[in-house]
Amino acid sequence: MKPLKIFLPLLFAMIFGTSIPLQAQLFDSESDFTRQDTLRGSITPERAWWDVTYYHLSVKVDIADSAISGSNLIHYKVLEPHQKLQIDLQEPLEITKVIQGENDLTYTREGSAYFIELQDRQLSGEINELRVFYEGNPQVAVRPPWDGGFTWAHDGNGKPFVATSNQGIGASIWWPNKDHPYDEPDSMLISVNAPDTLMDVSNGRLLNVGEPGDGTKTWHWFVSNPINNYGVNINIGDYVHFGEEYEGEKGVLTLDYYVLRENEAKAREQFKQVKPMMDAFEYWFGPYPFYEDGYKLVEAPYLGMEHQSSVTYGNGYQNGYLGRDLSGSGWGLKFDFIIIHETGHEWFANNITYSDVADMWVHEGFTNYSENLYLDYHFGEQASSEYVRGIRAGIQNSSPLIGTYNVNNEGSGDMYNKGGNLLHTLRQVADNDSLWRETLRGLNQEFYHQTVSSKQVEEFISTKLGRDLEPFFDQYLRDIRIPILEYAFRDGRLMYRWGNTVQGFNIPVDVTINGDVHRLQPTTSMKNLQVESDGPFILTVDPDYYVASFNLLGK
Ligand SMILES: [Zn+2]
């Protein structure tokens, strides 16, 4: 059985021995990126010299005018002396003032990048602070959460329902910050002022609520752990709250739910999935990474997003992805896709965060795979296997999973389904589920609360599995070709090799030959194996491997 469709050109190349024109020409070269992409996506000299340690973001949300105003107090450690500092904020919002100590600072602007001239001498090792004031009408999200900004909506009772979402487009779409993923504050305070008939829910824990006496309230939410910029969020609505406690690996974890008044009954039913989900994820990935900040599910006026410790939810209180099974296997309807997927990101996205968005597969590939492991934990290996094979239908293989570095460029959308399949294939390669589980848990320990590169993750897995996986990762992350097990039976021998691969590709693969299972160790050179049979040979590759096979002599 062939686990996937082989592209015709691949078949052609295999048969006629030509090589496929590789992807290089097909994809954007760096020259297609703009100066703004570089300012946003690289660690510029004006970013490199300081390490953000704390943000206090304070925002007043004026719902009537779809406007915001506020400030961000930034604490940073000086790594090397420098007098110019870059802060990002996207139009039409504008920075109106920057102060450091007594000084009102001057700045120049280049698109979304503001270059602030510091007057006090910056000395290595010092922790300094500055406050950036800003205001305006933020961009409205066109297709949240993918095309982010503010969503100004209303609930079924006509009350305002407002939220931010900004992955990809960047947190600087609504607040001024160092808008690059490599640097996270160690903690953050988020203060949101809104009408007192509503409530704001942001990340972390609610410290206190201020009542200035003008018909508004200010909710102060404190995040005691490092947080990625894109995870910071505002949700304002007529929320009701309920909660429960989970006895997890690190003790008691608070689970808090904020949902629209009209949806409370549905939410109380649907969110029963949270505890069993925590069982599955803690088993495979280790303790939930933010016990101190708690776990929240917060209803939002869009599908959902992995906002750290305040996962947003808009899946309509139904199983599947808006009621659909993305795998076509039936298993996708056994769970609420948004609860499971977005919470999986607490481990892969919020705990382990890409240091460049080009490596976004580390977020989406592992989180896609978390859906599979959730099924594995509750419904068994067959369920997880059918699910992961089902989602292959969505893989395009038209560009690599890894994007272009330093220009804020994401790789192919295949990072989800192909990423999940890559990891499921690796589980077969490991052929040892306790070692595989140790590897997944080990990643979350080794890179606890850190920003990382794909290479670091790849090297960690190679070390854990005791195998050089460089060609494997190059094949699935940096190339678009699917390995083909090429084989032929001749004179009682099976000849076999990997074709359509990068140099050195050498993962083992399980095959069944006339009913007997064999673990082959193919390389890109032809090997052979003595086999015996009275009749014709039939070989099938274990469909859990995301590879193809081709009988060089047969049909
Ligand atoms: Zn995701």
Q: Is the pLDDT of residue 5 over 70?
A: no
Q: Is the pLDDT of residue 533 over 90?
A: no
Q: How far is the CA of 345 from the centre of ligand 1 (A)?
A: 7
Q: How far is the CA of 503 from the centre of ligand 1 (A)?
A: 31
Omega before 400 cis (within 30°)? no
Nearest alpha-carbon partner for 377 in 348, 335, 339: 335
In angstroms, the CA 478 to CA 473 distance is 7
> What is the per-residue burial (b if ≥16 Cβ within 10 Å, else e) of 280-290?
bbbbbbbbbbb
What pLDDT, on a 0 to 100 scale, did the predictor assign at position 53?
98
Neighbouring-strand partners of residue 496: 487, 527
Cβ–Cβ under 8 Å, residues 311 and 203: no
Q: Is the pLDDT of residue 17 over 50?
A: no
In angstroms, the CA 463 to CA 69 distance is 49
Q: Which residues contact 285 (CB under 8 A, 6 or more apart)?
A: 347, 348, 370, 440, 441, 444
Cβ–Cβ under 8 Å, residues 55 and 74: yes
Q: Which residues contact 489 (CB under 8 A, 6 or more apart)?
A: 495, 531, 537, 539, 553
Number of helical (H) and strand (E) elements in the chain, helices listed first = 12, 29
Q: How far is the CA of 363 from the centre of ligand 1 (A)?
A: 7
Q: How far is the CA of 237 from the centre of ligand 1 (A)?
A: 24
State pLDDT tens for residues 90-137.
999 999 999 999 999 999 999 999 999 999 999 999 999 999 999 999
Q: Is the pLDDT of residue 11 over 80?
A: no
State pLDDT tens for residues 281-292.
999 999 999 999
Report DSSP letters for 438-472, one per residue: HHHHHHHHHTTTEEE-HHHHHHHHHHHHTS--HHH
Angle 62-64-68 from CA coordinates, rounded to 5°: 25
State pLDDT tens for residues 31-54.
689 999 999 999 999 999 999 999
Q: How far is the CA of 346 from the centre of ligand 1 (A)?
A: 10
Say how many C-beta atoms besides its own lie within 10 A of residue 127's C-beta.
12
Q: Is the pLDDT of residue 331 over 50?
A: yes
Q: Give percent above pLDDT 90 in the chain.
A: 91
Cβ–Cβ under 8 Å, residues 343 and 255: no
Angle 16-20-21 from CA coordinates, rounded to 5°: 140
Amino acid at residue number 127: I
Q: How far is the CA of 520 from the centre of ligand 1 (A)?
A: 34
At residue 503, the 3 state secondary structure works out as coil
Q: How far is the CA of 305 from the centre of ligand 1 (A)?
A: 7
Q: Given pLDDT bands bounded at 50, 70 and 90, which one contains residue 24?
A: very low
Map 186-246 to HEC letters: CEEEEEEEEECCCEEECCCEEEEEECCCCCEEEEEEEECCCCCHHHCCCEEECEEEEEEEE
Cβ–Cβ under 8 Å, residues 315 and 267: no
- Here the tokens at position 400 are 């690599």
Q: How far is the CA of 400 from the centre of ligand 1 (A)?
A: 18
What pLDDT, on a 0 to 100 scale, did the predictor assign at position 225?
98
On average, the pLDDT of the chain sits at 94
Measured in degrees and rounded to the nearest 5, phi and psi for residue 237 equal -165, 180
State pLDDT tens for residues 365-402.
999 999 999 999 999 999 999 999 999 999 999 999 99
Q: How far is the CA of 342 from the centre of ligand 1 (A)?
A: 6
Q: How far is the CA of 467 from the centre of ligand 1 (A)?
A: 29
Q: How long is the chain?
A: 555
Q: How far is the CA of 414 from the centre of ligand 1 (A)?
A: 12
Q: Given pLDDT bands bounded at 50, 70 and 90, which one contains residue 10?
A: very low
Cβ–Cβ under 8 Å, residues 219 and 237: no
In angstroms, the CA 345 to CA 79 distance is 31
Q: What is the mean pLDDT of residues 157-173?
A: 96
Helix (H) or strand (E) holding 530: strand 527-530
Q: How far is the CA of 52 from the centre of ligand 1 (A)?
A: 26
Q: Which residues contact 363 (CB under 8 A, 6 or more apart)?
A: 306, 345, 348, 349, 353, 354
Amino acid at residue number 422: L
What pLDDT, on a 0 to 100 scale, did the predictor assign at position 532?
82
Q: How far is the CA of 367 from the centre of ligand 1 (A)?
A: 6
At residue 50, the 3 state secondary structure works out as strand
State pLDDT tens for residues 399-427.
999 999 999 999 999 999 999 999 999 99
Q: How far is the CA of 372 from the centre of ligand 1 (A)?
A: 14
Provide the H-helix boundaries in 392-521: 417-430, 433-446, 454-465, 470-478
- Here the tokens at position 224 are 């005691």
Total-model pTM: 0.93
What pLDDT, on a 0 to 100 scale, did the predictor assign at position 30?
52
Q: What is the mean pLDDT of residues 153-166?
A: 98
Q: How far is the CA of 370 from the centre of ligand 1 (A)?
A: 10
Q: Is the pLDDT of residue 335 over 50?
A: yes
Angle 257-260-261 from CA coordinates, rounded to 5°: 105
Amino acid at residue number 509: V
Q: Which residues contact 70 (CB under 8 A, 6 or more apart)?
A: 57, 58, 59, 60, 133, 134, 135, 175
In angstroms, the CA 246 to CA 295 distance is 10
What pLDDT, on a 0 to 100 scale, did the predictor assign at position 555?
55
Q: What is the mean pLDDT of residues 318-332?
A: 97
What pLDDT, on a 0 to 100 scale, did the predictor assign at position 536?
85
Q: How far is the CA of 364 from the centre of ligand 1 (A)?
A: 5
Q: How far is the CA of 18 from the centre of ligand 1 (A)?
A: 38
Cβ–Cβ under 8 Å, residues 325 and 333: yes
Q: What is the mean pLDDT of residues 454-459?
A: 98
